[in-house]
Structure formats: structure tokens, C-alpha cells
Amino acid sequence: MSETSNSGPSINLTPRVWLGIAIAVVAIVFILQNREPAEISLMMLRVSAPLWITLTAVFLAGFATGWLVSKRRK
């Protein structure tokens, strides 16, 4: 009898990936807990928006920056 392995695609979760997942979860919880309106000033521009939208935009900007920097290093 031969033993066959029915393993699907393996995902390598390194400590770096786990850290990224943990940071994302903490950021999402933080965003969900801060939903009140806020006034944001950037240079001469002043905007009033829900804080969760602002936090989401900053999180995505940080994610995009990290992604672009990591692509540049390769």
C-alpha cells in the first residue's frame, strides 16, 4: 500500500506575516471604536468627516507606503 498525501497549497506564515496580521487587526478594532465626527486640517485645507474614514485613509496610506518601499528594495 502506498501512502499518498492530499495536501493543498501550503501557506508559509512567517513571524513577519503574523506581525502584519496583528497590526491590521489592532488598526481595524481601533478604527471601529472611533466613529465620532472629527475636523481634520492639512495645510490650508480643513475638512469635517467621521473619524473612522480618516483613520482608514491613514491606515491605507501607510499600507501603500510600506508596500511601495518593500517593492523598491527587491
Q: Which domain holds residue 46?
A: 17-73
Instruction: Please state the φ and ψ torsions of residue 61, each to the nearest 5 degrees.
Output: -65, -40
In a domain, 11, yes or no: no
Q: What is the pTM of this model?
A: 0.59
Identify whether 56 is part of a domain: yes
Q: Is residue 5 a part of any domain in this protein?
A: no
Instruction: Identify the pLDDT of residue 73.
Output: 62
Residue 41: alpha-carbon gap to chain centroid? 23
**What percentage of the chain has pLDDT greater than the value 90?**
7
Cα torsion through 35, 68, 26, 39, rounded to 10: -20
Model pLDDT, residue 22:
92
Cell 485613509 sits on residue: 57
Per-residue pLDDT at 36 exceeds 70: yes
User: In the structure, what pLDDT confidence band is assigned to residue 5 with cuts at 50, 70 and 90?
Assistant: low
